[in-house]
Structure 1
Amino acid sequence: MAIDVTVLRVFTDQDGTFGNPLGVVDAAAVDPRDRQRIATDLGYSETIFITLPREGMHSAQAHIHTPTTELPFAGHPTVGAGWWLRDRGMPIKTLQVPAGIVQVTYRDEVTSVSARADWAPAFSIHDVATVDELAAADPDDYDDDGAEHYLWTWLDKEAGTIRSRMFAPSLGIREDEATGAAAVRITEYLSQDLTIVQGKGSIIETTWTPEGWVQVAGRVVDDGVRQID
């Protein structure tokens, strides 16, 4: 039986352009043993399998898979899940993932999640001198150590705006268009609120707290339904 996969783009700009593709699946439609296969076949940087909230409740559960493995937490799937549930008439306040309980909030077109900074992987953060140097970086130069690499440089230091790219070949992701978990890490690293322009032009907004929580916010666009066996 074919499985419906909603395809979202998470962290678009204000015009609904760019954003990172995400596969969203109702977990009830899939045997848990098939999750990894489905995520691999879809080929998105992440696919999220959501257990819908019980009637009258405002909390859901989810599992997140890259093409090669399950993740305890990731930013763009949790933002996408929050948006998808509200779009189905089931807005939530929390989303339970293996790493912990993610707080979810909504403001107009923007969906936000709050997560502990230590839930995100320990990215290798590379401070790059210029935007041109960042643009010239080749993902194939970062595929030999199994690490996840985050490259960044300032666009406007006073305004807290950075430009970034992320490479994670070990997870089956040569280059990620927009990475919420990396946004959590770079926000902690710089200890300030940020506007992050990643990939071709995706936009991630973050809010830093000294208590170790980071809020990650963005816009989402629905690109329709794809079916997979």
Structure 2
Amino acid sequence: MNDSHSAELLRYAAFTADPAGGNPAGVVLDATGLDAADQLAVAADLGYSETAFLTPAAAGGRAFAVRYFSPRAEVPFCGHATVAAAVALAERIGAGELLFETKAGPVPVLVEAGPDGVLAATLTSVEPHVEPVAAADLTEALAALGWSDGELDPAFPPRVAYAGARHLVLAAATRARLAELSYDFERLAALMTRLDLTTLQLVYRESEHVFHVRDPFPVGGVVEDPATGAAAAALGAYLREVHGVQEAELTLHQGEDLGRPGVLRVELRAGDPRIRVSGTAVPIGPRRG
């Protein structure tokens, strides 16, 4: 076992320009020498929904191997920690194109400075896919959430969507239903573990291109993820598959019900199955070592 406290641990808030908003992520820019147990220990000690651990990739240059750990387990891909890590890198080596080699596959990331000087990162997902959810599994998910069939939006049938990690997409018929989230933590965690789900992507459509979303994350040891880039990408894949959306720019509002508002931009491009997710990120307080 290596000394897991020897690596510099940074803290960033992703999908926000306010350190008190969005989703906090841990970032270790040089995880050389840290094994999986060390990385899990660092993530568990920090307590954020995800921490990203980077090491230089064999290709060199601006390519990095990245692993993502929640306080409870490793996940194949995490969007908000990708945005946080990319911005942290750009602050040190300059904006531009990066390549993250993740367990889900290669994820290109472009970091650019906005007019206000705040850095924003755009990740391009691995190729997504969408699959049906079994009736019994849907019934169990709704029971664990305390939702009824009648509280779902019939225009958005439940599906499991993947764009680097698996998410069950459930659409609430009203904003009030989405706002009142209180669920059976262990029951939902058991179902999600069996179905290999990272989060539930709970959504409410405000307008054609604007959604409010929430993401229970009990399998990671976290009640709710405040802003979820991987699930945002999965939602883009879902909308293409279920609603035939080929080209669109979507705005997702997440974290408002937690007091950590964040904004995620999702782009679908005609002719490209991959989904792009964009957001800003800023440091949180002093760095921890």
What's the counterpart of residue 52 of structure 2?
A: 48
Task: Please state if 1:104 is matched with 2:129.
Answer: no
Change (3 A) 1:169 1:57: same
Q: Secondary structure at the match of 1:27?
A: coil
What's the counterpart of residue 238 of structure 2?
A: 189
Change (3 A) 1:199 1:140: farther
The answer to whether the 8 Å contact 1:126/1:152 transfers is yes
Task: Please state if 1:123 is matched with 2:173.
Answer: no
- Percentage identity across paired residues of the two chains: 29
Change (3 A) 1:53 1:121: closer
The answer to whether the 8 Å contact 1:187/1:193 transfers is no
2:93 and 2:167 map into 1 onto residues whose CA distance is 35
The answer to whether the 8 Å contact 2:84/2:282 transfers is no
Deviation at 1:144, TM superposition (A): 4.9
What's the counterpart of residue 124 of structure 2?
A: 114
Out of 22-31 and 217-226, give the one that drifted further: 22-31
What's the counterpart of residue 166 of structure 1?
A: 215
What does 1:1-229 correspond to in 2, within 5 Å?
A: 2-3=5-6, 4-12=8-16, 17-25=20-28, 26-28=30-32, 30-52=34-56, 57-89=61-93, 91=95, 92-108=97-113, 109-116=119-126, 117=128, 118-140=162-184, 142-146=188-192, 147=197, 148-157=199-208, 160-191=209-240, 192-200=248-256, 201-209=261-269, 210-223=271-284, 224-227=286-289
TM-score, structure 1 normalization: 0.88
Q: Which runs of 5+ in 1 are unaligned?
A: none
CA deviations on 1:175-225 (whole Å, 9 max, x unpaired) are: 000001100111111124311001222110011135320111001010131
Q: Secondary structure at the match of 2:288?
A: strand
The answer to whether the 8 Å contact 2:99/2:106 transfers is yes
Q: Secondary structure at the match of 1:40?
A: helix
1:45 and 1:84 map into 2 onto residues whose CA distance is 18
1:219 and 1:143 map into 2 onto residues whose CA distance is 30
Change (3 A) 1:89 1:140: same
TM-align CA RMSD: 2.3
Q: Secondary structure at the match of 2:212?
A: strand
Task: Give the letter for the 1:88 counterpart.
Answer: R
Change (3 A) 1:29 1:9: farther
2:59 and 2:233 map into 1 onto residues whose CA distance is 32
- Please say which structure displays the higher CA radius of gyration: 2
1:136 and 1:143 map into 2 onto residues whose CA distance is 19
Change (3 A) 1:151 1:22: same
1:213 and 1:172 map into 2 onto residues whose CA distance is 29
2:12 and 2:33 map into 1 onto residues whose CA distance is 18
The answer to whether the 8 Å contact 1:113/1:215 transfers is yes
Deviation at 1:99, TM superposition (A): 1.3
Change (3 A) 1:105 1:220: same
1:18 and 1:39 map into 2 onto residues whose CA distance is 20
Deviation at 1:131, TM superposition (A): 1.1
Q: Secondary structure at the match of 2:37?
A: helix
TM-score, structure 2 normalization: 0.71
Deviation at 1:78, TM superposition (A): 1.2
